[in-house]
């Protein structure tokens, strides 16, 4: 009876979705918003969410565990640790490396971590939040990533780690930087939040560093609404990360599970009594960064569509790049040599001699319902939050300043149709012709 009622409800959910989505929505140029990013959700996603809710999967459990293992296989890493956001995944990655159990590899307050100035705060904030010193390096225009030479020149005796994001899905030269990190005994953390499915030298991004991170915010390649993932092929580090995610507890039992180690009341830890319950022993200074099964159910449903999402992003980016080629006054994006990006956005820099400015072109696009975004924070060192904070800047941040003044990006996400791209191309060409 219960199973029958459940099946009937889910059938109604599918019917509701079909009724809500009946027929294609016509694109009206200038009226239909062309978003910079967004979630693409179908009947299977709606059904997955409702099914988890019907089962009252209100905490992290079996669905979250299944999503972790499925996503790890897809991204070719041995272990995945689900979090409540990509920002939390970044915090978790760096914080895990502060564990005293790592011995000589432990990161400590005052250690330097190399990162880029032109990025998003959540790649940098964990460095400061752990009492370390961000070392800001510049990027190059075109790829909008840093270079091996810039990173190498930034290394000092105090440098212990490198933490960099693949910009808008375009890989930084990660194989070479991973080799550089190995030569100097540095940890490498790849912020892969914008680049799921990108490859460098035929290898998936997010598989080069000790840790990589992913975001499932609606703007990203897959969505859980809110959520993130930390990935590693180092079993010891992954186990540590799970402890840091789950309050810092020593126990490795899943929620609702007891005594997997068969020594729940027999372990001696710290100065606690020998019979103290292992489920309440804490070995790290951790957080609660868990997600829920309801969120994970949506993630699992989305995962099946990842190949199509990636192909749509590549197709939209290619159409924009070919359509804008040769347009005067603009620096168009270039894939990093040796890479095949799973693009997050299409980035444009206005040349100083263009005869028009970024505010002018952005206003023109926005007035025609074409949404734009800046390259995140531009030069982070110029923001109020970072003024007066510990930092080192080993060289000029010339291109990071250019990005702050002269760069924006537009969307390529799968919800954008070929017809929409043609409208964007026509609007940009019209603007340039009249300015």
Report, as residue numbers or ranges, the catalytic residues: 220
Number of H helices, E strands in the chain: 13, 14
Residue 118 is given by DSSP the state B
User: 118 with 380: CB under 8 angstroms?
Assistant: yes
By DSSP bridging, strand 203-204 and strand 112-116 are unpaired
User: 199 with 171: CB under 8 angstroms?
Assistant: yes
Strand order of the sheet with strand 211-215? 79-83, 228-232, 211-215, 187-191, 159-165, 112-116, 133-137
Residue 273 is given by DSSP the state -
Residue with tokens 């100065």: 271
User: 261 with 382: CB under 8 angstroms?
Assistant: no
Residue 132 is given by DSSP the state -
Q: List strand residue ranges (DSSP E) for 198-248, in order.
A: 199-200, 203-204, 211-215, 228-232
User: 134 with 158: CB under 8 angstroms?
Assistant: no
Dist CA 194 CA 196 (whole Å) = 6
């Amino acid at each position: 009876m219960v199973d029958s009622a459940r099946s009937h409800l889910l059938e109604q959910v599918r019917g509701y979705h079909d009724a809500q989505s009946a027929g294609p929505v016509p694109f009206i140029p200038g009226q239909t918003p062309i978003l910079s990013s967004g979630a693409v959700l179908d009947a299977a996603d709606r059904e997955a969410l409702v099914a988890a809710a019907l089962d009252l999967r209100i905490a992290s459990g079996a669905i979250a565990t299944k999503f972790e293992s499925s996503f790890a296989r897809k991204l070719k890493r041995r272990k995945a640790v689900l979090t409540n956001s990509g920002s939390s995944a970044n915090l978790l990655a760096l914080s895990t490396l502060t564990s005293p159990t790592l011995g000589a590899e432990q990161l400590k307050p005052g250690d330097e971590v190399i990162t880029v100035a032109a990025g998003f705060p959540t790649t940098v904030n964990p460095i400061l939040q752990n009492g370390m010193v961000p070392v800001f390096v510049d990027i190059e225009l075109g790829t909008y990533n840093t270079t091996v030479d810039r990173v190498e020149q930034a290394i000092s005796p105090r440098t212990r780690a490198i933490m960099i994001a693949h910009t808008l899905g375009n890989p930084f030269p990660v194989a070479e930087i991973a080799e550089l990190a190995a030569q100097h005994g540095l940890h490498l953390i790849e912020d892969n939040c914008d680049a799921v499915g990108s490859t460098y030298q035929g290898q998936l991004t997010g598989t080069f560093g000790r840790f990589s991170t992913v975001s499932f915010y609606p703007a990203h390649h897959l969505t859980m609404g809110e959520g993130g993932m930390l990935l590693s092929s180092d079993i010891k580090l992954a186990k540590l990360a799970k402890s840091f995610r789950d309050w810092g507890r020593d126990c490795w039992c899943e929620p609702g599970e007891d005594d997997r180690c068969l020594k729940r009341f027999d372990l001696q830890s710290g100065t606690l009594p020998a019979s103290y319950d292992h489920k309440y022993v804490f070995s790290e200074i951790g957080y609660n960064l868990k997600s829920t099964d309801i969120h994970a159910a949506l993630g699992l449903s989305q995962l099946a569509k990842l190949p199509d999402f990636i192909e749509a992003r590549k197709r939209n980016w290619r159409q924009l790049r070919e359509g804008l080629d040769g347009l005067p006054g603009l620096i168009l994006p270039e894939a990093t040599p040796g890479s095949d990006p799973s693009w997050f956005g299409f980035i444009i820099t206005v040349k100083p001699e263009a005869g028009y400015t970024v505010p002018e072109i952005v206003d023109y696009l926005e007035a025609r319902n074409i949404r734009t975004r800046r390259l995140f924070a531009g030069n982070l060192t110029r923001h109020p939050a970072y003024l007066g904070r510990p930092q080192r800047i080993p060289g000029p941040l010339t291109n990071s300043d250019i990005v702050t003044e002269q760069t924006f990006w537009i969307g390529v996400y799968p919800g954008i149709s070929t017809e929409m791209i043609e409208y964007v191309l026509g609007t940009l060409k019209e603007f340039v012709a009249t300015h």
